[in-house]
Structure 1
């Protein structure tokens, strides 16, 4: 009887161990808030280049044990297994409704990753209006590596820390551009 009970318990333990995955639940949803700095870099008539330093919100949405996603492990020479958190960083600003928004080159800027972690960059949208202002929302993704599989603390943000993010976009006044002729 004891032998059968032991084997049954062993089978259940092995079954449960085999069902485990690399997902880790985030106990307390972690969101960082900040007030970004906006710098108007000027530009040609009808177009202004805007640089935003920092972020408005940076929220953890996933936690995992394992190798880093995509080419991130190779790019940053971090090929071991880690406890890491995926974050979505956003910057929200308001522009006058006369402006359309376009994405400028971000290769020189300190951008996070695209959502699939395949390359660096950000996505920008300006579809929403609020109080006669165009709401500009830019979004990028970061990885926070907490520790390795040996429990050694790593404490590293990839590709940059949230406060080091740099976003650049164009603010275009098409009515003003039409009058240039």
Structure 2
């Protein structure tokens, strides 16, 4: 009797394991690039325009519908295989005078939950002592419709088309 209950227990364990959430195996995709940085000098401040990114890294791969507000905004309402990427740019800021518009909406989303468009920022100190302002935004890369053809769609835009805006105050109060 004990042997029979042990066998039933094993069957239950195997049944539960087979119903667990499917994990996707994927190659960690990382793109590195040298962004185009242009400084415009004015009397009281500098304006900095950056096109592109420094690093664009896949954070996760997902299967299913896009997050609710993304599907609504984009019109992509089918089931997809897609990556969630974080694209970032680092701009040298040794004087700690750079800032950007946090609600600048011509980029991606501020978090990987895709609730609001915008950016995240953090100051980074490199080993050589230089200080950088790291700014990041989240993007979606649809690479296949479930059960369908391969695709290559970046939303809301390709990381190569990102345009970041910063300003640098020359004489802070």
TM-score range, shorter chain: 0.7 to 0.9
**Structure 1 residue aligned with 2:86:** 88
Contact kept? 1:70, 1:118, Cα under 8 Å: no
- The residue correspondences of 1:102-181 to structure 2 (distance < 5 A) are 102-104=99-101, 107=104, 110-115=106-111, 116-126=113-123, 128=125, 131=128, 133-173=130-170, 176-178=171-173
Contact 1:126 / 1:137 at 8 angstroms: preserved in 2? yes
SS in 2 for 1:142: strand
The question of whether the paired residues in 1 share the 8 Å contact of 2:143 and 2:150 is answered with yes
CA contact (8 A) 2:87 2:137 kept: yes
Task: Give the TM-score normalised by structure 1.
Answer: 0.78
Distance 1:148 1:133, change over 3 A: same
Q: Distance in 2 between matches of 1:160 and 1:51?
A: 17
- The number of aligned residues is 164
Corresponding residue for residue 19 of structure 1: 20
Any gaps of 5 or more consecutive residues in structure 1? 1-7
Displacement of 1:42 after TM fit? 2.9
Instruction: Provide the C-alpha distance between the structure 2 equivalents of 1:105 and 1:123, rounded to a whole number of angstroms.
Output: 7
Alpha-carbon distance in structure 2 between the residues aligned to 1:129 and 1:30: 24
Does the residue aligned with 2:110 lie in a helix, a strand or coil?
coil
Paired residues of 1:101 and 1:126 also in contact (CA < 8 A)? no
Contact 1:86–1:143 (8 Å) recurs in 2? yes
Deviation at 1:101, TM superposition (A): 2.0
TM normalised by structure 2 equals: 0.81
Unmatched 5+ stretches in structure 2: 1-7
Name 1:36's counterpart in structure 2.
35
Q: 1:77 — aligned with what?
A: 75
- Structure 1 runs (4+) deviating above 2 angstroms are 10-21, 41-44, 104-108, 124-134
Q: In the TM superposition, what is the alpha-carbon distance from 1:163 to its structure 2 partner?
A: 0.3
